[in-house]
Amino acid sequence: MLLFSEAAAVFSEIEKRSGRLEMTDLLAALLKKAEGAEIGKLTYLLQGMLAPPYEGIDLGVGERFAIEAIAASAGYSKKEVEAHYKKSGDLGDTAEALIGKKKQTALSTTEMGVTYVYDAMLQIAKASGPGSQEMKIKLLTELLNNASPLEGRFLVRFVLGRLRLGVGDPTIIDALSVAHVGDKSLREPLERAYNVCSDLGYVAKVFYESPERIEKFTVQPFKPLMPALAERLSTPKEIIERLKKCAVEMKYDGFRLQCHKSGERVELYSRRLDRMTAMFPDVVDAIKGVKAKELIFEGEALAYDSAKKRYYPFQQTMRRRRKHGIEEASKEFPLNLFVFDVLYADGRDMTNEPYAKRRALVEKLFKGKILQPSQALVVDSTKKLKEIFDESLSEGLEGIMAKDLAAPYTAGKRKFAWIKLKKSYGKAVDTIDGVVVGYYLGHGARAEFEFGGLLIAVYNPERGKLETVAKIGSGFSEAEMVELEKMLEEIKAARPPEELDYRIEPEFWVEPKYVVEVAFDDITQSPTHTCAMQDGKGYALRFPRLVRIRTDKGVREITTSSEVAEMYELQRSKG
């Protein structure tokens, strides 16, 4: 049995390290100690979750509940716990300190293994109905009664969703490989397995039981794949030079859905892999009518204005994503789902097949009114590609997507198999998607909103780090300022995110949760921002402004530091 105290000791050591190699070795040593029934649960704990996102399991424990549990287990009043927290800035540190000098001790304690802790956390998450809040506090109090001070620190951080070890999924994948073969040689098959099922705990369990199965890992219904991502180029000429003959699809400005079917069961997942099935009964009914017993496909959903014969803007389309008033919304904003890829069909994993073959299956299977193939043409000239791009913009769409006819589907990867060409926003050469890591108070005319701007970061997958790229102070409507202040107040943090590399500090840090689309005039080198920093200079967006909040995108899908660097070089090449 792997004791939770052993895991907590390793967590504490990882917090002291900044090098990814050191973290990998520490994790590998811990993973080696886990038994078969523990490996998946330990992996989830390392990720700071209890299950993959699409299962929708949320602990639902706020700071108030955690304070009550700490007070009950350590024998302090809630006011004393709150006073300590105000000084420490971290409720995990407060739990560690007060458990270390308890005013009362439990009559008996239980030695906690990783499985014991995981199962207790799952009980907390699943407690619902009348009395559920009291039950959550009781279960957390019992865990803290059994905990050493160090264990208490990580138990409290975990239930609050703030484990923040600075260990990303790539590091855990490397550690699984090192634990098994002593090096990172199995990183690629492990990463592919994770990308095609989005469940690292499941991958770790399968790998532990039968490593050879990872090499043959296949897509399966109701385990959504991480979406394939597109690279960008700025002209039709560059696209044709790279891809030669290619398929060109309209780039719809809607929300991406991944649809799974097996028999009569249908599930819909957002690009963030949240389950969306209940929101779109019209789409579910249409999928049930498709002539395939098992199917996984992707499409872009848009609301259509039949009176004006134009697609609704993104924000109006997003009104279909709601938990209440679903029937009324489906009548007001009827959806078209434009299918652009098939990933699995009747037992066959299609992801390794060339795009041309997958596209042929799209056109064979989808011919209905709600479900229809995305518009696509095969071209081999700059002139024709430019004509399609112009037509896309005239129809109120966002641009085009060019696709390599021979390329497989690369789940979770950003490749030149797909290349996007988008309209510009005002003077902006392009846009990026970044995650909010901090915010500023309003001053002057904005003082009444208690909100003045955002600090934005992009992702460096090689380092497993978020890196700052812009401080945004414009592009906000009054309604957006009010909405952002409310959203960010709820995830305010006393410290910067563990995975963030920064040189600029906002007035308030926040957990990296919300993605925004940002327009800009150009990219400059900066000693202040850490994006792709070398020799003391990173990259920064010049005149950045908010385009919109991307509630449909997750942190994994934000722009990478290397993309920003490539855009800078492209900008230089054009003078």
The catalytic residue positions are 251
- Asked if 149 and 97 touch (Cβ cutoff 8 Å), the reply is yes
Query: Within 13 Å and on the Cβ side, how many CA atoms surround 329?
Result: 19
Beta bridge partners of 492: 510
Please report, to the nearest 10 degrees, the dihedral formed by the alpha carbons of residues 426, 429, 430, 434 taken in order.
Answer: -100
- Three-state SS for 463-503 is CCEEEEEEEECCCCCHHHHHHHHHHHHCCEECCCCCCEECC
- Asked if 525 and 539 touch (Cβ cutoff 8 Å), the reply is yes
- Asked if 261 and 295 touch (Cβ cutoff 8 Å), the reply is yes
**Rounded to whole angstroms, how far apart are CA atoms 98 and 84?**
9
Beta bridge partners of 549: 516
Sign of CA dihedral 124, 129, 132, 133: positive
| Cα 28 from chain centroid (whole Å) | 24
**Rounded to whole angstroms, how far apart are CA atoms 439 and 452?**
7
**Rounded to whole angstroms, how far apart are CA atoms 127 and 141?**
15
| Cα 109 from chain centroid (whole Å) | 38
b/e burial code for range 490-514 (CB count within 10 A of at least 16 → b): ebebeebbbbbbbeeebebbbbbbb
Six token digits for residue 301: 């959903």
Q: Which amino acid is at 363?
A: E
End-to-end alpha carbon distance in the chain: 62
